[in-house]
Amino acid sequence: MEAAVSGEPGGQDTSMQSYLSGNILACLQVFGSFFLMINSWGVTNTFGAYQTYYEANLLKDESPSRISWIGSIQAFLLLLVGGCITGPIFDAGYLRSLIIVGSITSVLGMMMTSICKEYWQIVLSQGLCVGIGAGCLFLPSVAVMPQYFTERRAFATGIAATGSSIGGVIYPIVFHELQPRIGFSWATRVIAFIMLATLIIPITVMRAKISPSNRRPLFDLAVLRELPFDLFSFGFFFGMMGMYIPFYYMSTYSTGRDIVNNNLGFYLLTIINAASVFGRIVPNFLADTIGPLNISAPFCCACAIIAFCWTSISSTGQAVVFCIFYGFFSGTFVSISPPALASLSPDLNLVGTHMGMGFTCGGLGLLIGNPVAGILLDSYGWIGPAMFCGACSILATCFVLIARLSKTGRVLIVKV
Distance from C-alpha of 43 to C-alpha of 192, rounded to nearest angstrom: 10
Residue 1 lies in a domain: no
Q: What's residue 415's pLDDT?
A: 58
Alpha carbon 105 to its chain centroid, in Å, reads 18
Q: What's residue 6's pLDDT?
A: 42
Neighbours of 150 (CB within 10 A): 9
Residue 123 lies in a domain: yes
Distance from C-alpha of 255 to C-alpha of 269, rounded to nearest angstrom: 12
Q: What percent of the chain has pLDDT over 70?
A: 88
Q: Taking residues 83-89, what's their average pLDDT?
A: 74
SS3 state at 73: helix
Predicted TM-score (pTM) of the model is: 0.79
Which ranges of 206-261 would DSSP assign to H, the alpha helix? 227-243, 245-256
Q: Does the structure show a pLDDT above 70 at 166?
A: yes
Distance from C-alpha of 72 to C-alpha of 62, rounded to nearest angstrom: 16
* pLDDT band at residue 23 using 50, 70 and 90 as cut-offs: confident
Give the count of domains, the chain: 1
Residue 52 lies in a domain: yes
Q: Does the structure show a pLDDT above 50 at 219?
A: yes
Q: Residue 43: CB partners within 8 Å, gap ≥ 6? A: 74, 106, 110, 130, 134, 167, 171, 191, 195
* pLDDT band at residue 213 using 50, 70 and 90 as cut-offs: low
Q: What's residue 21's pLDDT?
A: 47
Q: Taking residues 284-296, what's their average pLDDT?
A: 77
Q: Taking residues 137-150, what's their average pLDDT?
A: 77
Q: Residue 211: CB partners within 8 Å, gap ≥ 6? A: 93
| Contact (Cβ atoms closer than 8 angstroms) between residue 192 and residue 115 | no
| Contact (Cβ atoms closer than 8 angstroms) between residue 357 and residue 82 | no
Distance from C-alpha of 368 to C-alpha of 76, rounded to nearest angstrom: 9
| Contact (Cβ atoms closer than 8 angstroms) between residue 238 and residue 399 | yes
Q: Taking residues 367-392, what's their average pLDDT?
A: 91
* pLDDT band at residue 17 using 50, 70 and 90 as cut-offs: very low
Distance from C-alpha of 149 to C-alpha of 292, rounded to nearest angstrom: 15
280's enclosing H/E stretch is: helix 262-290
Residue 201 lies in a domain: yes
Q: Does the structure show a pLDDT above 60 at 235?
A: yes
Q: What's residue 85's pLDDT?
A: 77
Q: Of 47, 39, 45, which Cα lies nearest the Cα of 122? A: 47
Residue 308 lies in a domain: yes
Q: What is the CATH number of the domain that holds 80?
A: 1.20.1250.20
| Contact (Cβ atoms closer than 8 angstroms) between residue 87 and residue 200 | no
**Top-confidence residue, 411 or 162:** 162
Distance from C-alpha of 144 to C-alpha of 123, rounded to nearest angstrom: 31
For 338-365, write each residue's pLDDT tens digit: 778 877 877 766 776 777 788 888 888 8
For 31-80, write each residue's pLDDT tens digit: 888 999 999 988 988 888 898 889 888 898 888 888 888 988 998 888 88
**Top-confidence residue, 102 or 280:** 102
For 99-135, write each residue's pLDDT tens digit: 999 999 999 999 999 999 999 999 999 999 999 999 8
Q: Does the structure show a pLDDT above 90 at 258?
A: no
Dihedral sign (CA 348, 144, 171, 104): negative
Residue 4 lies in a domain: no
State the amino acid at position 88 in one-letter form. P
Residue 415 lies in a domain: no
Q: Taking residues 78-92, what's their average pLDDT?
A: 76
Give, as one character, the DSSP assignment of residue 312: G
Tell me what the pLDDT averaged over the chain comes to: 83
Q: What's residue 112's pLDDT?
A: 95
Residue range of the domain that includes 40: 27-209+223-408
Which ranges of 92-152 would DSSP assign to H, the alpha helix? 95-113, 119-122, 130-143, 145-148
* pLDDT band at residue 410 using 50, 70 and 90 as cut-offs: low
Give, as one character, the DSSP assignment of residue 216: P
- Whole-number Cα distances in Å, 13 to 1, 17, 18, 75, 413: 12, 6, 8, 48, 42
Distance from C-alpha of 55 to C-alpha of 378, rounded to nearest angstrom: 14
| Contact (Cβ atoms closer than 8 angstroms) between residue 47 and residue 71 | yes
* pLDDT band at residue 217 using 50, 70 and 90 as cut-offs: low
Residue 7 lies in a domain: no
Q: What's residue 218's pLDDT?
A: 67
Q: What's residue 19's pLDDT?
A: 42
